[in-house]
Amino acid sequence: MKKILPVLASTAALISFSAAAQAENTMTNDHGFYVGGNYGYVKIDGQDSFDDHNDVKEGVLGYRLNPYLALEGSYIDFGDYGNSLASASTDGYTAALKAILPLGDRLELFAKGGQLWYKTDYKTAVGNNSNDDKGVFAGAGVGFKVTENFLLNAQYTWYDTKMDAKDIEQNGTGKTNTDFKQATVGAEYRF
Protein backbone atom coordinates (compact mmCIF):
# COMPACT_ATOMS: atom_id res chain seq x y z
CA MET A 1 0.00 0.00 0.00
CA LYS A 2 2.87 2.40 0.80
CA LYS A 3 4.25 1.92 -2.73
CA ILE A 4 0.86 2.27 -4.46
CA LEU A 5 -0.04 5.67 -2.90
CA PRO A 6 2.99 7.55 -4.36
CA VAL A 7 2.36 5.95 -7.79
CA LEU A 8 -1.36 6.92 -7.67
CA ALA A 9 -0.53 10.44 -6.48
CA SER A 10 2.09 10.87 -9.23
CA THR A 11 -0.32 9.57 -11.87
CA ALA A 12 -3.10 11.88 -10.65
CA ALA A 13 -0.69 14.84 -10.70
CA LEU A 14 0.43 14.02 -14.27
CA ILE A 15 -3.16 13.69 -15.46
CA SER A 16 -4.12 16.99 -13.80
CA PHE A 17 -1.10 18.77 -15.31
CA SER A 18 -1.88 17.35 -18.77
CA ALA A 19 -5.55 18.42 -18.52
CA ALA A 20 -4.56 21.92 -17.41
CA ALA A 21 -2.10 22.24 -20.32
CA GLN A 22 -4.77 21.11 -22.81
CA ALA A 23 -7.31 23.56 -21.34
CA GLU A 24 -4.78 26.41 -21.66
CA ASN A 25 -4.14 25.54 -25.32
CA THR A 26 -7.87 25.68 -26.13
CA MET A 27 -8.13 29.21 -24.61
CA THR A 28 -5.81 30.86 -27.15
CA ASN A 29 -8.58 32.94 -28.81
CA ASP A 30 -7.21 32.55 -32.32
CA HIS A 31 -10.64 33.05 -33.91
CA GLY A 32 -13.88 34.83 -33.12
CA PHE A 33 -15.25 38.32 -32.56
CA TYR A 34 -13.42 41.22 -30.93
CA VAL A 35 -14.17 44.85 -30.07
CA GLY A 36 -11.79 47.68 -29.39
CA GLY A 37 -11.08 51.36 -29.25
CA ASN A 38 -8.17 53.59 -30.26
CA TYR A 39 -7.20 57.13 -29.34
CA GLY A 40 -4.42 59.21 -30.77
CA TYR A 41 -3.16 61.88 -33.11
CA VAL A 42 -4.01 62.63 -36.74
CA LYS A 43 -2.04 64.93 -39.06
CA ILE A 44 -4.04 66.34 -41.96
CA ASP A 45 -1.54 66.93 -44.78
CA GLY A 46 -2.49 68.43 -48.15
CA GLN A 47 -2.12 71.40 -50.49
CA ASP A 48 -5.03 73.34 -49.01
CA SER A 49 -6.27 75.50 -46.13
CA PHE A 50 -7.04 72.48 -43.97
CA ASP A 51 -3.51 71.36 -42.98
CA ASP A 52 -3.70 70.76 -39.24
CA HIS A 53 -3.39 68.13 -36.52
CA ASN A 54 -5.99 66.84 -34.12
CA ASP A 55 -7.06 64.11 -31.70
CA VAL A 56 -8.65 61.07 -33.33
CA LYS A 57 -11.05 58.52 -31.80
CA GLU A 58 -11.87 55.11 -33.27
CA GLY A 59 -14.21 52.26 -32.37
CA VAL A 60 -13.41 48.81 -33.82
CA LEU A 61 -15.38 45.60 -34.44
CA GLY A 62 -13.64 42.60 -35.94
CA TYR A 63 -13.68 38.86 -36.54
CA ARG A 64 -10.54 36.71 -36.49
CA LEU A 65 -10.81 33.96 -39.09
CA ASN A 66 -7.68 32.21 -37.77
CA PRO A 67 -4.48 33.24 -35.93
CA TYR A 68 -3.22 35.08 -39.04
CA LEU A 69 -6.20 36.78 -40.67
CA ALA A 70 -9.10 39.00 -39.55
CA LEU A 71 -11.86 41.13 -41.03
CA GLU A 72 -12.24 44.50 -39.31
CA GLY A 73 -14.60 47.46 -39.43
CA SER A 74 -14.41 50.75 -37.58
CA TYR A 75 -15.97 54.14 -37.01
CA ILE A 76 -13.46 57.03 -36.90
CA ASP A 77 -13.92 60.61 -35.71
CA PHE A 78 -11.07 62.71 -37.13
CA GLY A 79 -12.40 65.78 -35.30
CA ASP A 80 -12.32 69.46 -36.29
CA TYR A 81 -9.36 70.97 -38.12
CA GLY A 82 -8.35 73.97 -40.20
CA ASN A 83 -8.09 77.64 -39.27
CA SER A 84 -10.36 80.63 -38.61
CA LEU A 85 -10.96 81.19 -42.35
CA ALA A 86 -11.66 77.60 -43.35
CA SER A 87 -12.37 74.67 -41.05
CA ALA A 88 -13.68 71.17 -41.51
CA SER A 89 -14.85 68.13 -39.57
CA THR A 90 -14.49 64.55 -40.88
CA ASP A 91 -15.78 61.19 -39.69
CA GLY A 92 -16.20 57.86 -41.46
CA TYR A 93 -16.38 54.09 -41.56
CA THR A 94 -13.80 51.54 -42.67
CA ALA A 95 -13.68 47.93 -43.83
CA ALA A 96 -10.31 46.18 -43.76
CA LEU A 97 -8.46 42.92 -44.14
CA LYS A 98 -5.96 42.48 -41.29
CA ALA A 99 -2.92 40.18 -41.52
CA ILE A 100 -1.45 39.08 -38.16
CA LEU A 101 1.97 37.63 -37.34
CA PRO A 102 2.09 36.13 -33.82
CA LEU A 103 5.53 36.43 -32.18
CA GLY A 104 5.39 34.09 -29.21
CA ASP A 105 2.52 33.92 -26.73
CA ARG A 106 2.06 37.64 -26.01
CA LEU A 107 3.29 39.73 -28.94
CA GLU A 108 1.91 40.10 -32.46
CA LEU A 109 2.60 42.34 -35.44
CA PHE A 110 -0.17 43.27 -37.84
CA ALA A 111 -0.79 45.08 -41.12
CA LYS A 112 -4.16 46.08 -42.53
CA GLY A 113 -5.61 47.77 -45.55
CA GLY A 114 -9.02 48.57 -46.93
CA GLN A 115 -11.64 51.16 -47.78
CA LEU A 116 -12.67 54.35 -45.96
CA TRP A 117 -16.09 55.96 -46.51
CA TYR A 118 -16.13 59.45 -45.00
CA LYS A 119 -18.12 62.66 -44.73
CA THR A 120 -16.55 66.10 -44.37
CA ASP A 121 -18.47 69.20 -43.25
CA TYR A 122 -16.86 72.51 -44.28
CA LYS A 123 -17.24 75.99 -42.77
CA THR A 124 -15.68 78.86 -44.70
CA ALA A 125 -16.00 82.61 -45.20
CA VAL A 126 -17.89 81.97 -48.48
CA GLY A 127 -20.33 79.40 -47.03
CA ASN A 128 -20.79 75.93 -45.62
CA ASN A 129 -21.10 72.61 -47.41
CA SER A 130 -20.48 68.91 -46.93
CA ASN A 131 -19.08 66.15 -49.07
CA ASP A 132 -19.28 62.34 -48.97
CA ASP A 133 -16.38 60.45 -50.51
CA LYS A 134 -14.25 57.33 -50.22
CA GLY A 135 -10.56 56.51 -50.18
CA VAL A 136 -8.15 53.69 -49.44
CA PHE A 137 -6.03 53.22 -46.33
CA ALA A 138 -3.19 51.07 -45.00
CA GLY A 139 -1.72 50.62 -41.56
CA ALA A 140 0.60 48.56 -39.39
CA GLY A 141 1.10 48.04 -35.68
CA VAL A 142 1.99 45.87 -32.74
CA GLY A 143 -0.26 44.20 -30.17
CA PHE A 144 0.56 42.93 -26.68
CA LYS A 145 -1.63 40.34 -24.90
CA VAL A 146 -2.21 41.32 -21.29
CA THR A 147 -4.48 38.27 -20.91
CA GLU A 148 -5.86 35.79 -23.44
CA ASN A 149 -8.84 38.10 -24.04
CA PHE A 150 -7.41 41.60 -23.49
CA LEU A 151 -4.77 43.24 -25.74
CA LEU A 152 -3.08 46.64 -25.91
CA ASN A 153 -1.89 47.96 -29.27
CA ALA A 154 -0.08 50.80 -31.01
CA GLN A 155 -0.54 51.49 -34.72
CA TYR A 156 0.09 53.91 -37.56
CA THR A 157 -2.46 54.34 -40.37
CA TRP A 158 -2.38 56.37 -43.59
CA TYR A 159 -5.65 57.43 -45.31
CA ASP A 160 -5.76 58.73 -48.91
CA THR A 161 -8.59 61.27 -49.03
CA LYS A 162 -9.69 64.19 -51.18
CA MET A 163 -10.93 67.46 -49.74
CA ASP A 164 -13.69 68.92 -51.91
CA ALA A 165 -14.59 72.33 -50.50
CA LYS A 166 -16.00 74.04 -53.59
CA ASP A 167 -15.18 77.70 -54.25
CA ILE A 168 -12.40 77.75 -51.64
CA GLU A 169 -9.22 76.48 -53.22
CA GLN A 170 -7.16 77.89 -56.05
CA ASN A 171 -8.12 77.02 -59.64
CA GLY A 172 -11.79 76.95 -58.63
CA THR A 173 -11.91 73.14 -58.45
CA GLY A 174 -11.91 72.89 -54.66
CA LYS A 175 -10.65 69.28 -54.84
CA THR A 176 -7.19 68.51 -53.42
CA ASN A 177 -5.38 65.35 -52.44
CA THR A 178 -5.09 65.23 -48.67
CA ASP A 179 -3.55 62.50 -46.53
CA PHE A 180 -4.64 61.73 -42.99
CA LYS A 181 -1.69 60.26 -41.06
CA GLN A 182 -2.83 58.70 -37.80
CA ALA A 183 -0.89 57.30 -34.83
CA THR A 184 -2.95 55.68 -32.05
CA VAL A 185 -2.81 53.49 -28.97
CA GLY A 186 -5.73 51.30 -28.06
CA ALA A 187 -7.22 48.22 -26.46
CA GLU A 188 -8.97 45.15 -27.82
CA TYR A 189 -11.19 42.59 -26.12
CA ARG A 190 -11.59 39.14 -27.73
CA PHE A 191 -14.68 37.05 -27.03
What one-letter code names the amino acid at 39?
A: Y
pLDDT beyond 50 at 51: yes
pLDDT digits (tens, 9 = 90+) for 11-30: 554 554 444 444 444 446 67
pLDDT digits (tens, 9 = 90+) for 78-131: 988 877 777 888 999 999 999 999 998 899 999 999 999 999 888 877 778 888
Round to whole Å and give the CA distance between 94 and 147.
27
CA angle 70, 60, 88 (to 5 degrees): 130
